[in-house]
Structure 1
Amino acid sequence: MAPTGSGKTWIAEQAILSVFQRGGRCWYASPLKALSNAKWVEFSHRFGAEHVGILTGDTKENPDAPIIVGTTEILRNQLYDVMQRGRDLRCDLVILDEAHYLGDRDRGVVWEEIMIYLPVRVNLLLLSATIGNGDEIAAWLSTIRRKTCTVIREEKRPVPLFPLFLHPSGRIMPLMESRKLYGKVTEYIVAGKTRRLGKSAALFFGEVVHLMEEYDLLPAIFFLKSRSECDVALKSCTRLTEKSSDERFYYDLEELLSRFPFLRQHRQLQCLVDYRVAAHHGGQLPAWKFFVETMMKKGHLRAIFATSTVAAGVNYPARTIVLFNSDLFNGHEFCPLSGTEFHQMTGRAGRRGLDNIGFMLAVPGRFMDLVHVKKLLYQPPDEIVSQIRNDFSMVLNLLLSQTPETIRDIFENSLASYQRQKLNLWKEFLRHLEFLKVEGFVDASDRLTENGIWASKLRLDQPLLIAEGLRTRGFPEKDEKLLAALVAPFVYDSDQEILLDKRSIPRKLSRAFIRLVRNLGPLTERMTEAGFSVQPLYFWTSVAVYAWASGEDWDGILERIGVSDGEMAMLILRTADNLRQIVSLKETHPEMADLAMKARDAILREPVVFEWEG
Structure 2
Amino acid sequence: MSDFAKLYPYQLDDYQLSACEELAAGAGVLVAAPTGAGKTVVGEFAVHMAIATSRKCFYTTPIKALSNQKYHDLVERYGPERVGLLTGDSSINSEAQIVVMTTEVLRNMIYASSPTLKNLGFVVMDEVHYLADKFRGAVWEEVILALPESVQIVALSATVSNVEDFGEWLRTVRGHFAVVVSERRPVPLFQHVLVGRRLLDLFEGTAPTARELPSERAVKVNRELLAVSKGEGGRVRDDSRRPRGRSGRGKNDRSRGSGQYGGSTHPRFAGRPTSRAEVAIVLDRANLLPAIYFIFSRIGCDSAVRQVADAGITLTNRAEASLLGEIADRHVANLSRADLDALDYERFRDALMAGVAAHHAGQLPAFKAIVEEGFASGALKLVFATETLALGINMPARTVVIEKLVKYNGEAHVDITPGEYTQLTGRAGRRGIDVEGHAVVLWQAGMDPRAVAGLASRRTYPLRSSFAPTYNMAVNLISTMGPERSRELLEQSFAQFQTDKTVVKAARVERSLQADLEAAREAVYCEQGDAMEYARLRDEISALEASSSKARRAEAADQVSESMTQLMPGDIVHVPRQGWSVVLRVGQKVKRDGEPWVQTISGDHTVLKLQPHDLRGPLVPVGRARVPRDFSLRDRRSRRALLSAMSAKIEELDPEIPDTAIPTDDAVAAQIATLRAELRAHPVHACPDRELHAVEAARVIRIEREARRVEEQTTGRANSLAVQFDRVCAVLDELGYLDDDRLTDAGRMLRRIYNELDLVAAECIRRDVFEGLDPAQLAAVLSTLVFESRPSRDAAHPRMPDAASERAQSQLRMVWREVGQLERKHKRDRGREPDIGFAEAAWRWSSGQDLSKVLANTGMAAGDFVRWVRQVIDLAGQLAAAVGPGDLRRTCHAVADSMRRGVVAADMNED
Q: TM-score, normalised by structure 1?
A: 0.91
Q: Quick check: 1:204 aligned with 2:256?
A: no
1:468 pairs with 2:750: no
- Alignment check: 8 A CA contact 1:281 1:309 kept: yes
Return the offset for 1:317.
1.2
Instruction: For 1:503-514, list aligned pairs within 5 A.
Output: 505-514=801-810
1:214 to 285, 289, 306: 285
Listed one character per residue, the Cα deviations across residues 455-506 of structure 1 (whole Å, up to 9, x for unaligned) are 121122111111111111111456222222221110013466734687x944
Indicate which of 707, 713, 727 corresponds to 1:431: 727
The within-5 A match list for 1:137-536 is 137-146=166-175, 148-168=176-196, 170-177=197-204, 178-192=218-232, 204-237=275-308, 238-243=310-315, 246-261=318-333, 262=335, 264-265=340-341, 266-267=343-344, 268-273=347-352, 275-330=354-409, 333-365=412-444, 370-419=449-498, 420=500, 422=717, 424-443=720-739, 445-477=740-772, 479-494=774-789, 498-499=795-796, 505-518=801-814, 522-527=818-823, 530=826, 531-536=828-833
In the other structure, the counterpart of 2:853 is 556
Tell me how far 1:251 sits from its aligned partner. 3.5
Residue type of the alignment partner of 1:141:
L
1-structure distance, mates of 2:737, 2:182: 49
Are 1:93 and 1:123, in contact at CA under 8 Å, matched by a contact in 2? yes
Compared CA separation, residues 329 and 92, structure 1 to 2 (3 A): farther
SS at match of 2:907: coil
Deviations 1:20-72 (A, max 9, x none): 23210111110011100111121122222122111111112222111111111
Could you say if the C-alpha distance between residues 12 and 590 of structure 1 is closer, same or farther in structure 2, counting changes exceeding 3 Å?
farther
Separation (CA, whole Å) in 2 of partners of 1:21 and 1:583: 40
Name the CA distance, whole Å, in 2 between partners of 1:157 and 1:233: 30
Unpaired stretches in structure 2, ≥5 consecutive residues? 1-31, 205-217, 234-263, 503-716
Q: What is the identity percentage for the equivalent residue pairs of Structure 1 and Structure 2?
A: 31
The CA deviation at 1:427 is: 1.5
Whether the aligned pair in 1 keeps the contact of 2:46 and 2:57 (CA below 8 Å) is: no
Aligned CA distance change for structure 1 residues 273 and 498 (closer, same or farther; 3 Å): closer
Q: Does residue 68 in structure 1 map to residue 147 in structure 2? A: no
Q: CA RMSD in A?
A: 2.8
Please tell me whether Structure 1 or Structure 2 has the larger radius of gyration of its CA atoms. Answer: 2
**Conserved 8 A contact 1:484-1:549:** yes
> 1-side partners of 2:888 and 2:272: how far apart?
56
For 2:756 and 2:182, how far apart are their aligned partners in 1?
38
Q: Secondary structure at the match of 1:34?
A: helix
Deviations 1:211-253 (A, max 9, x none): 2212221121111121122122222212143356513431442
Is the alpha carbon distance of 1:560 and 1:352 closer, same or farther for their aligned partners in structure 2, counting shifts above 3 Å? same
SS at match of 2:463: coil
Aligned to 2:74: 43
CA contact (8 A) 1:89 1:119 kept: no
Deviation, structure 1 residue 125: 0.3
SS in 1 for 2:868: helix
CA shift, 1:113, in A, is 1.4
The structural deviation recorded for 1:7 is 2.7
| Count of residues paired in the alignment | 606
Change (3 A) 1:427 1:281: same
- Aligned position for 1:25: 56
- Counterpart among 889, 903, 909 of residue 607 in structure 1: 903
Distance in structure 1 (CA, Å) of the matches to 2:812 and 2:316: 58
Q: 2:324·2:353 contact (CA, 8 Å) conserved in 1?
A: no
Amino acid of the structure 2 residue aligned with 1:576: I
One-letter amino acid of the counterpart of residue 51, structure 2: F
Matched, 1:541 2:541: no
In the TM superposition, residue 274 of structure 1 has moved relative to its aligned partner by 5.4
Match of residue 137 from structure 2: 108
What CA distance in whole angstroms lies between the structure 2 residues aligned with 1:18 and 1:409?
32
Letter in 2 for 1:415: F
CA distance in 1, matches of 2:880, 2:388: 31
Structure-2 separation of matches of 1:366 and 1:464: 50
Query: In the alignment, residue 287 of structure 2 is paired with which amino acid?
Result: D
Alpha-carbon distance between aligned partners in 1 of 2:133 and 2:364, rounded to the nearest angstrom: 24
Are 2:415 and 1:120 aligned? no
CA–CA distance in structure 1, aligned partners of residues 448 and 340 of structure 2: 41
DSSP-derived class of the 1:584 partner: helix
Residues 289 and 381, structure 2, Cα contact 8 Å, conserved in 1: yes
Distance (Å, rounded) in 2 between the aligned partners of 1:366 and 1:508: 55
2:164 partner SS: helix
8 Å contact 1:488–1:542 — kept in the other structure? yes
Partners of 2:479 and 2:382 in 1: CA distance: 51
The answer (yes or no) to whether the contact 1:469–1:520 under 8 Å persists in 2 is no
TM-aligned CA deviation for residue 590 of structure 1:
4.6
Is the 8 Å Cα contact of residues 229 and 447 (structure 2) preserved in structure 1?
A: no
Tell me how far 1:255 sits from its aligned partner: 4.0
In the TM superposition, what is the alpha-carbon distance from 1:516 to its structure 2 partner?
4.1
What letter corresponds to residue 158 of structure 2 in structure 1? Answer: A
Structure with more relative contact order (C-alpha pairs < 8 Å, separation 6 or more): 1
Give the secondary structure class of the aligned counterpart of 2:172: helix
Label 1:233 to 1:255 Cα distance change in 2 as closer, same or farther (>3 A): closer
Structure 2 counterpart SS, 1:179: coil
SS at match of 1:152: strand
Cα distance in 1 for partners of 2:113, 2:354 equals 53
Task: String of CA shifts for 1:383-428, please: whole Å, max 9, x gaps.
Answer: 2122111221211211112333222211221112222253821211
1:366 CA drift (Å): 5.1
Moved over 6 A (4+): 194-201
CA distance in 2, matches of 1:598, 1:50: 33
Residues in 2 aligned to 1:257 and 1:391: alpha-carbon distance in whole angstroms: 44
Q: Which amino acid aligns with 1:451?
A: A
Summarize the Cα distance change of 1:561–1:492 in structure 2 as closer, same or farther, 3 Å threshold.
same
Aligned letter for 2:203? Answer: M
* Letter in structure 2 aligned against 1:173: L
1:181 maps to amino acid: V
Q: How many angstroms apart in 2 are the aligned matches of 1:434 and 1:501?
A: 35
